[in-house]
Structures are given as structure tokens and as C-alpha cells.
Amino acid sequence: MQGTRILPELLAPAGSREALYAAVEAGADAVYLGGVAFNARINAVNFDAEAMAEAIAYCHLHGVRSYVTLNTLLYDREIEGFLDYAASLHRMGADAVIVADRGAIDLLHQHLPSLEIHASTQASVHSTDGARALAAAGAARVVLARELPLSDITSVVKNAGVETEIFLHGALCVSHSGQCLFSSLVGGRSGNRGECAQPCRLPYNGGYPLSLRDLSLADHIPALIESGVSSLKIEGRMKSAAYVYGVTTIYRRLLDERRAAGAEENRRLRELFSRGGFTDGYFCGRTEGNMTGIRSEGDKEASRALDNRTFEPKKIRATAEAAIVADEPSRFTLTLPDGRSTTVKGAIPEVARSAPLTAAAVADRLSRTGGTAIELSASDIRVSLDVGLNLSPGAINALRREALAALTAPQTVATDLPAYKPPRGDGLTLRKSALFLDPCVAKALGKERSFFDVIFLPLDKWEAAGFTPDGVYLPPVVFDRERDEIFSLLARAKEAGVRYALCGNVGMIAPLSKMGFAVVGDFRLNVTNRESARAYRAAGVSALILSPELTLPQLRDMGEGSAIVYGRIPLMLTERCFIKENFGCKECGKATLSDRRGARFPLLREYGHRNLILNSLPTYMGDRQDALSAYRVCGEHFLFTTEAEREAEAVIRAYRVGKPLSVPCRRIAK
């Protein structure tokens, strides 16, 4: 029997004007598109201000919602420009903006309260707690992490009390979104700023272990409908209009018929774009299966054989009424199929001196809608015309132009943007802090531990150190199904006297504060501006480790928080255990990935058999402490990941006296 649950929204990408036309023609309920700034696909064609206004108006004409991506991290000197741009989108009538930066969410909610906010997948929401936290900050919808299985998706939908959106089809990031620094720290192109160089698609160890197949949930449509999720997103703002049309058409049909894809539909999806097939591993909770793939010559050939038709604006059939009566202004009413209409008035007709107007002539001239998105047949125009009157062709044309403009022109929304006042950096900063992923290294250091004001050890391993640390480090990802175990571990740490909790998970901040921990925001919160710092302070964070993407001048602008001054910074956090898959469990703690240049990136196990991929070079600023002082860097944070005891001791001793290390290092840029 057919289900009665309301269908989720089908959300399609529009990386270009032609892709927009394709998405609307294919039956998308909504589209997401980016402007020329602040969006995480800066290399797509995108839309300038005029094109954006036209695109939003075009969507509204066809009853399609428009969501504009503002999903990059922001720097302090960009905040005013960001607000101005968001206000302009609000004036254009954008239905929502998609935002990743925590401070930006707060700012938009405060300054443009009637503008709907969707929290991007870059905001790293993977739990009910995370969804609730961003809903409390002002998000009307959260885009959930791609790694969630159906059971966790259903849990968040049921318990979070906010609209949810998940990815339905398209490319998968190998790292949890918002948790990837590979392109930025290694290649100098920030994925968090829309410039990802896709290092995951490159070869390592002679193969392509990080290149995931594209996602396809075409076989799970009934389960998706039943889950109650609000929106299903097709990835692909860098893809062609033909791809957008083909994929959207298939999913439109599957949703309307409430069924899973058949063999022919799956074959067609593979032809449109494939990396050796598709994966539903995350959704099904089977992350140990074959989820990797590359774009083969066969895949490329299949896509090249597709009909790359061009897409024009979709016409919408209208009806109309015209009234030309004596001694009254002429009137023209244009009505769309959904009932929207507009009435315009024009010149008063004159008494005809020779050949009077005919109804057929009036209808013929009014039907000439030309290159607009409105289709109007003369037979669909009802004309009321008094006998013996005349109205110039120009006056009739003016009626038509004004009515068309009223229905198709961008509709402006009144927007009053208050003056922006930047906050001061006045949060607590830890002068010197350190995280040791191996508690035994911290234990062996003995007196050298006194170099740090606060030492953090992993929540699930700290007891192996033989001493109670100042703080515990929480897993950066905690799914709903893992929550009970995490809180049991936290209760034990609190009872033992642990004071601080190092937290890179937006959903855990409020629960940690409620338990009485002093919450230190880890670098995974991606704090790159003072507004985000202020937002996290208001949420319960007492001190911050700032984003390693910040330069020294940007750290100075922050006026608070700690910089990572030593350590192999994690470049990726993966849901899959690449160690087990590529090396075997016996290599846990020893596995590395080598790129084409010979750089070696260590892999470490995280909580729940997730993996960290670490930078090949440690960051080190011990011999550049004068630069840290010159740029007024407030606090210094150390990451000890792969170091043995003697290596950790050598780092601390070198840092104490300002000496360089004997190995190549990465520096914080000026």
C-alpha cells in the first residue's frame, strides 16, 4: 500500500544558469546555488548579483525554493561584507542561506532574523545534541553528516526538533565534512574556504585508498521517506546541466512513485557519473566494504556518450483577461496555474476614427511574450472590448510588459541591517596546554610535564597514564548510539577530579558544561573569527584552540585563544578504518600513507575505530617565539601524536630554549 508520509524535499544543485534551468525542468522542489563569494564551491560558475536576483525570481516563478550557499569559514575582516551580502540575498527573496561558520549563524540570526538559516554539513552535525545546539543558535535546518547510518538519521529526526537534510546522491568526502585540513595545510588551498584541491583523489602507496565512490541512495527511497527527513540533497554544483537533469529526473520519479530504483534507473545513474559504481556503505552501516573507486576510462566513455542537450528557461503557461472599455483605464490581468496573478492598468482608450480594435487583435498583441518565462496563447486571453474603441499598439504592449515584469521580476524584501560592532576578544586563554594521544608518553615525561599549565589525555585512555590529568580530550565525533558510553566515561573522569574537557564537537558543549567541566574548544570547532569565539563563549566554552588555518596576523586579530605551535596536525578524520582495510590491525599505530613526492602521512586510530590522517610535517614555532610575541599570540597548544617519550622530551627542551628541531617543520604563516 502506498505510504501517506509527506515526501521529503528534492534539493538539486545549480552551479550555473543552465544547471538551474535543468534542475527546475527535472522537477526539483528546491535548488542550492552560490554567489561569487563566501561559498564552498568557489570554482563553480556561480551567480553574480544580477544573475542571482534573476535566478531567485525564476525559481519563485516555478514554485521552486532557492537556497544560497554562504558556507565558508570567515575571517574577521570579512564579517561586514558577509552581512551586507546576506542582506542583499534577503532583499532578493532567497528562501534560505546555507551557513557553516558558527559566528555567522549567530550574526545572521541577530541581524536578519527573518532570513532562514540552514546549517551546512561543514558545521559537522552528526548527532541529536549537535542538531539541537545549532537549532538553538538560530538554524531552521541542519544538514547532517554524510557518515550517519539510517538508524542515527532516524534518531536525530525524531529527537532534535529541527528540520533535517541529508545527502542523497553524489561525491563523498573521505573526511568528515568540516574536519578536513589536507588541502589547506599541505596544498595551500582551503577546503573550508571553497578552494579544495581534492588530495583524496590522488594516489597513495601506489593506489587510491582515499578516493571514495559516489553516494547513491536510489535503492533506499522508501526507507528515506519513512525516516521523516525533511530534504534529500543531490551533490553536484561542479557537474554539468545534463548530469543535474538526469539525476534529478530519476529521483523525482522514484520519490513520486515511492519506490526504490530498478536496474535500468541504476544503470542510467552510473552512465551519468560513476567512480566504478556507487556506495551506500555509510547509510547501511557497512563501512568495511568496498567503498573506494576511481573514475575509469569506461566511466568517462559512458558519460561522454550522453546527450549533452542545452537547457533554456522553462516556460510556464498562463491565462489572462483584458478589459478595454470606454472612459476607463485599460486593464490586463495575468494568472499563473498556481493562482498567482497580477493586474496592471494602462491608457484610457479613445473613440476609433476609422478601423476600431477587435478582440482578436488585442489578444494577438498581448500574447507576444517573446523570450520571457511566460507562455501565453491568444486563445487563453479573454478580452472585454467595447465597440468602436481604439488603443495604440504601444499602449497594449505596455500592459503586457508591466504584467510580465510584475510576475517575473525579482521580488524585493525590505531589509533593515543594523550597524555592525565587532566584539572584543575577552575569553580565557590557556597559556600553555598540550594533548597527548598516548597517555604513556605523558606519564614517562615526569618533571617535563610542568612545562604545561594544562595537560589533556584521551577520554577513553587517560587512566593508563597513572595520574589524573587536568583535562580529557573528547572524541570529535559522537553518534547518538555512542552517547551513553561517552557519558559513562565522562562521569568517571569527573569523579576522579578532572577539571577540563577538550571538545571539538558542537553537540557536546552544553552537556559538558552541565556536568561541571570547564570546556576548552578544540581546533575542530574551526574558530577563525571573533564572532565564532563569542558564540562559543555564550554556548559555554571557556577557552579556545584556534583554527590552524589562521596566519599570525589573523591570530593577532582574534585577541584570544591558543595557536597550535607544535604537532602533526590531523588533516582528516575518517569514519572508516583505513588502517585495518589497507594494512591490517597489526599495523595500528605504525601505518602511513605515502604520496607521489614521498611525503609520509601517519594514520592513527580514533575512538570507535575512526582514523586520523596526520600531517607529514609537524608544525613548530619554538625557534620563532619572537614572531608569536610580535603578533601577540595569546596561548600555545602542543599536539603529541606519534612521538615516543624521547622525541616528546626533545621537543619540550628545544622549545624551552628557542632552538629549532632537527627535522623539517611547517610554520605558521605571516
- DSSP state letters, 609-640: G-EEEE-SS-EE-GGGHHHHHHTT--EEEEEE
- At residue 3 the predicted structure's pLDDT band, cuts being 50, 70 and 90, is low
Closest CA to 17 of 39, 45, 41: 45
How far apart are the C-alpha atoms of 430 and 543, rounded to whole Å? 7
Residue 654: what residue type?
A
What does the pLDDT look like over 250-297, one tens digit per residue? 999 999 999 999 999 999 999 999 999 999 999 999 987 789 999 999
Task: Report the chain's mean pLDDT, rounded to a whole number.
Answer: 94
Residue 43 has pLDDT above 70, yes or no: no
Q: What are phi and psi of 355, to 5 degrees?
A: -80, 115
Residue 235 has pLDDT above 90, yes or no: yes
**pLDDT of 42:** 63
Task: Give the SS3 label for residue 553.
Answer: helix
Q: What are phi and psi of 85, to 5 degrees?
A: -70, -45
What does the pLDDT look like over 554-602, one tens digit per residue? 999 999 999 999 999 999 999 999 999 999 999 999 999 999 999 999 9
CA quadruple 520, 525, 528, 529: dihedral, nearest 10: -70
Query: In the predicted model, what is the mean pLDDT of residues 350-377?
Result: 92
Task: Give the SS3 label for residue 138.
Answer: coil
**pLDDT of 612:** 98
Chain region(s) in the chain for CATH 3.20.20.70: 9-172+212-304
What is the CATH number that goes with domain 9-172+212-304? 3.20.20.70
How far apart are the C-alpha atoms of 357 and 390, rounded to whole Å? 5
Q: What are phi and psi of 79, to 5 degrees?
A: -60, -50
**pLDDT of 425:** 65
Q: What are phi and psi of 76, to 5 degrees?
A: -55, -40
What residues have CB less than 8 Å from 126, skipping those under 6 apart? 144, 145, 147, 148, 152, 176, 477, 478, 479, 507
How far apart are the C-alpha atoms of 638 and 457, rounded to whole Å? 12
User: How deeply is 223 buried, as exposed, middle or buried, from its count of CB atoms within 10 A (0-12, 13-18, 19+)?
Assistant: middle
Least confident of 324-333, 349-358, 433-442: 349-358
How far apart are the C-alpha atoms of 503 and 471, rounded to whole Å? 10
Q: Tell me the whole-structure pTM to 2 decimals.
A: 0.93
Q: Are 601 and 615 in contact (CB under 8 A)?
A: yes
What does the pLDDT look like over 137-161, one tens digit per residue? 999 999 999 999 999 999 999 999 9
**pLDDT of 422:** 78
Residue 412 has pLDDT above 90, yes or no: no
Query: In the predicted model, what is the mean pLDDT of residues 207-235?
Result: 97
**pLDDT of 354:** 85
Residue 481 has pLDDT above 90, yes or no: yes
**pLDDT of 345:** 96
Paired residues of 564 in beta bridges: 637
**pLDDT of 46:** 79
Residue 1 has pLDDT above 50, yes or no: no
Residue 574 has a CB neighbour count (10 Å cut-off) of 25
Residue 36 has pLDDT above 90, yes or no: no
Thinking of the domain 432-657, which architecture would CATH place it in? Answer: Alpha-Beta Barrel (3.20)
